[in-house]
Structure 1
Amino acid sequence: MLRQMSTEVKDFSLINGDSMGTLENIQKEINKCKCQHEALLKEHEIIKDGIENNKTFAKKFQQRTEDKKNSLEVDDKKRTERLEKEQEKLSTSQKEQEKLRTEIMRMKEELESVEKKNDFLRQKTEVSTAVPEKKVVFKGKTAEGAHCQSFDANPRIVYPMEGGTALITFEDEGVAQKVLSLKEHKVQLGECTINVQAQPIQFLVPTYIEMDTQICPHRILVSNLPNKVPEDKLLDKLQIHFAKKKHGGGDVDDVDMLHDSGTVVITFTENNVAKGLTDQLEHKVEFMKNQTHKVKVTPFLNGEISRLQNRNSMCLRTVKLTGIPDIMELENLQDHLEIHFQKATNGGGEVESIIYNPIDHTTLALFTEDSPEDSQSI
């Protein structure tokens, strides 16, 4: 078609030479139209690609929407299942709670009944003791280990001594007070002189004790034991005897000898065994072959201090000496201190006992009751 138009243009130019300019303009318009046509084709391709992309995006979006919908349905189903389970648990918990309330009410009623029954026993086992004031004194004895720290009717006080100190007990209380009043003392040790300080010994001792005791449900106290049976064999025989059901016993957890009282504590794994054994006061135990011995079985009491009052107490005949350097052997240094404080010219007097604890050493001094008999005999 373009060729035909070109021929026609040539023919037309032959017919009318003045129209040459018009044909050139037409050619420009045609070229312009071609460019616009190509641009439109490109835009068409772009639009076509955009449509395809939109279709793809729409398809993917639809797929994601479908997946999300399925996921929400699954989550909703799981949530519903969990809710149902929680509701079941809540219902079960409410039922159990109601059972517990009923059980608590029943136990409260039983506890009130038991407390009423135990009031009488509690009154009988309550101990209220006023501790009399007693003087204590150091008599040269020491104690090793924490097991020595105890308090009973006869005072036994364990006093930790610092290094470089000494304890000296005078026969006369007045001498001790005079040494304390002088405070500082110059002691001759061979060719040198040392300054020592005299200090009082004070303790915090109980003056009043209230103790609540109760019967232990799984222990018994066995006394009236044979004297000639070795301890190991004695404990074994007791354990074997009281472990047997036919003797009223049960599973034994521990057997312990109390050497200070010569009794044995037997501990059972179950609580209901001890009472049955203590109801029968005497038990025949075979310690030797074909030979039995009657032992006494009594309840074991647990005690707890409910009230305790203390006071400061001063040791009137014992003086603490401090600031003693470690410049010679222990025995020599101790002898020099004793000789110095025995002399009346140094403010001293007769010494009943003395102990020196060197620097960097630890010693536990044992204070016992300063009885009137001891004072009269000095």
Structure 2
Amino acid sequence: MAFNCCCRLSDGRDLCAIRRNTFDFGRIMSDDAEKQVYGELVNPDEESRMSDAAAELKKYKHLIESADNDKSRLLLEKIEAETEKKRAEAELQSFMDSEDKVSDQFNRDLLEVQEERKSLDRVHQDLKKELYDLQKKLQLKRDESDSLRRRFKIEARIPVKAVKFARVQERDEAEDQVESVFTVTQTPSFLLKGGQALITFEEEKVAEQILRLAKCSVACDKAKMEVKPYALTLDPSVKFEVHIQVSKKSVRFCNAPPTLPEERMRDRLELSFSRASRGGGEVEKLEYHKDTGSGRVTFISTGVAESLVHRGKFCVDTGSDVVVDVLPLYEYQLRKFQTYSGAPRRTVLLGGIQALMDEEDLQDHLEIHFQKPSNYGGEVENIKYVPDGERLTAFFSEDSKEKEA
């Protein structure tokens, strides 16, 4: 029997040497058996030694079998480990390939996002520039609007007039209009900006003295500021008459949709407006425009139109009730349109005012300064200061002192 493997046991002995000794014990046992066959006597010590050798041989055979089993198991584990290693390497390679693909895709997406962001930044800058330009245009339009509003702002004051009943006067039925004339006068105005003030003196000569000065040094507690006086120029104002003729027999109506053919719709409207039970009266003439759903109706007698205008609504029967709006019928003309410009001789514009203190205190210091004759001032009739960041529109009325003069 031959063995090809050689290994060491756990106690450090060489397994191959043990095998050689085992062969020697085998020969000894074979020789002893042979002596026994031939009838020779066996030494008891030799027999004990042989028994121990046989037991040890059995032990070593068991160890060899166990080693062979361990070897087989290790070989199987090695094969399994190599298989697992190859699988892990393949999986790792797959992960690495996938990582490369993901990295490439990420880089492409990142480049796209960066390009998109650059594009959005450019659009954002363009929009900011456009917004800035529009804001500048809006500010210019606002300034223009303010100027036009100041120029054409109209304040209509209708004086109260006491009347009393005198007598009854017979009027001709042909007079079917109420005529009125209104005189409209625009109040001159001036837009005060931040850091400016208007000061009106009781005497015109005081304003002239102040305007001769290049600048005025105004003391504000421990500080001083330089204020520059300017002559005030107002925008042109207008004055005109409005002549209005309001019909006492005719009214306008709207919101009457053509739910029927035009002729039938006109007949229904005329029939409805002629019913006294609905607040109407006998109709002289009716016009209807189906495109706009509006028209006008003229009654034979006066009073019906006024009543309908006061109500503002009228129910028309067109198969179903339709509520239309009733409006007065009037004509107007603008006459005697005049433009004029005024120059307030007792008022001075002050510019370059610094906000050294709050509004009221600063206005008081300005008033005190320009009241002193030593500062070429005089009695102040009115003063108004506008702080920085604010605006105020000042209105001017006809100078009563010039009237008296």
Q: Which has the higher contact order (CA 8 A, sep 6+)?
A: 1
Q: What TM-score does the superposition give when structure 1 sets the normalisation length?
A: 0.39
Bigger-Rg structure (1/2): 2
TM-score by length of 2: 0.37
Which has more strand, going by share of residues? Answer: 1
